[in-house]
Structure 1
Amino acid sequence: MAFNSFYILLIGFTLVSLLIQWRLRSKFSQYSKIGLSSGLSGKQIAELMLADNKIHDVRVVSVEGRLSDHYNPTDRTVNLSAEVFDGRSAAAAAVAAHECGHAVQHATAYNMLQFRSAMVPALSAVSRFMPFVLLAGVLMIRTTMIPLGLGIALFSLTTLFSFVTLPVEFDASKRALAWIDQRGIVTTQEHAMAKDALWWAAMTYVVAAISSLATLLYYVSIFMSGNRRS
């Protein structure tokens, strides 16, 4: 019964995630068609925000892919997809400023970003074998609980990472919206569009975090049931 309930829940989260991804792409496409009154491109906006925050060692580069925008703290680059890099819309302004928000977090030693960055090496190693440990744990549950317990411990790191990501993303959006408003990059209407686009982007992280927590609790319930049987 618990098994069936979990998969129903998992399917539900998957459908919600797909819906939010679709909505995000739809909003981005909609707002990308509306020209920015300031006429600035995503590249120009990013460079201006970095300069205003006295960040001179970060490059703004164009990368392949759609909505592949990200900040790389390792090589100090703000990576913008072509439609954001060259775009002159509220959507491009929102994404460019958001990624620069991460650069500002890095430059100001924002504690949650530092915490998340410190977790990355461990998670990179864990992600390679964690699924196999969990599978072995479930298959060996009648023999020993150790593999499943280890798998749960490893999976809890990924869940923690998902939740640590939330304040990092929300803070970057907050910085971005405040800056584009204060700098006069957008009008009131354009600010509303930028805020809406970033909100839908943030929701993808929220759903991912909740889904990860639900999966973790499922494995914990299996572990507890196994302990009661033994």
Structure 2
Amino acid sequence: MYYPYFDSTMIVLIPAIILAMYAQSKVKSTYEKYVRIASQKGYTGAEAARAILDRNGLTDVRIEHIRGTLSDHYDPRTRVLRLSDMVYRGNSISSSAIAAHEVGHAIQHARDYAPLRFRNAIVPVVNFASNLSWLFILAGLFLSFTGLIDIGIILFTGSVVFQIVTLPVEFNASSRALDELESVGVLTREEIPHSKKVLDAAALTYVAATATAVAQLVRLLLLRERSRD
């Protein structure tokens, strides 16, 4: 009998776990470095977001201030851009970069960007399937019934697909952000490389999440094979 959390197959997850730890450290250190550097134009994150939204004809997208650190996101259901305190009020390079990235998602939504549309469509299914998958896997391992494990793995695969689709969505949003920051004049040309470092560090967390999901899937397949022995 093998359990999905504590067994020798955990070694498959180690590289992904190390990458995830590095990614979190990298995004934290890069964010903190550039949040201390004020942009030359002095835009706050909220002002930068508003300028980019208006330039793209998205005057109906509201900007709201929320609590937390790096809790920034765009809600396509309500067409609201929510910015955390340091991003909303701050006039740093980090604030402008993060705000512009979230506006990138709003632009994707307005332009009906296919990967974003697909990701948004599968979110409810993936959330349900991901939670349910472990019930089937645990039951299958406990009962040594590979049929249940197979169902669990199929359900978990949805999470892997979600993470893979997330990569082009996030990379594209960052690319749009960098273009807009310079075009609108929020940041100077000399500041753009610094904002790119902030966004690249954030993107690494999504790469790490994808690597972790893929590694977990490989591990589940190994557990399935062991259960047959």
TM range (shorter): over 0.9
Higher relative contact order, structure no. (Cα contacts within 8 Å, ≥ 6 residues apart)? 2
Mark the runs of 5 or more structure 1 residues left unpaired by the alignment: none
Q: Provide the residue aligned with 1:197 in structure 2.
A: 198
Q: Provide the residue aligned with 1:35 in structure 2.
A: 38
2:81 to 64, 78, 81: 78
Report matched runs for 1:32-181 at 5 Å. Answer: 32-141=35-144, 144-181=145-182
Q: Provide the residue aligned with 2:4 in structure 1.
A: none
User: Secondary structure of the residue that 2:65 maps to in structure 1?
Assistant: strand
8 Å CA contact 2:141, 2:227 repeated in 1: no
What is the rounded CA distance, in whole Å, between the counterparts of 2:28 and 2:90 in structure 1? 15
TM-score (norm 1): 0.92
Q: Deviations over 1:131-169 (max 9, x none)?
A: 22221122222xx21110000000000000000000000
Comparing 107-116 and 130-139, the one that deviates more? 130-139
Comparing 13-22 and 158-167, the one that deviates more? 13-22
TM-score (norm 2): 0.93
User: Secondary structure of the residue that 1:60 maps to in structure 2?
Assistant: strand
Which contiguous aligned blocks of 4+ residues in structure 1 show a shift greater than 6 angstroms?
none
Q: Which amino acid aligns with 1:27?
A: T
Q: Which amino acid aligns with 2:104?
A: G
What is the rounded CA distance, in whole Å, between the counterparts of 2:207 and 2:143 in structure 1? 33
Q: Deviations over 1:159-194 (max 9, x none)?
A: 000000000000000000011112222123311111
8 Å CA contact 2:10, 2:219 repeated in 1: no
Q: Deviations over 1:37-80 (max 9, x none)?
A: 11111001101111111012211111111011111111111111
User: Secondary structure of the residue that 1:68 maps to in structure 2?
Assistant: coil
8 Å CA contact 2:132, 2:152 repeated in 1: no
Instruction: Please tell me the root mean square deviation across aligned C-alpha atoms, in Å.
Output: 1.4
Mark the runs of 5 or more structure 2 residues left unpaired by the alignment: 1-6
The share of aligned pairs that are identical, in percent, is: 36
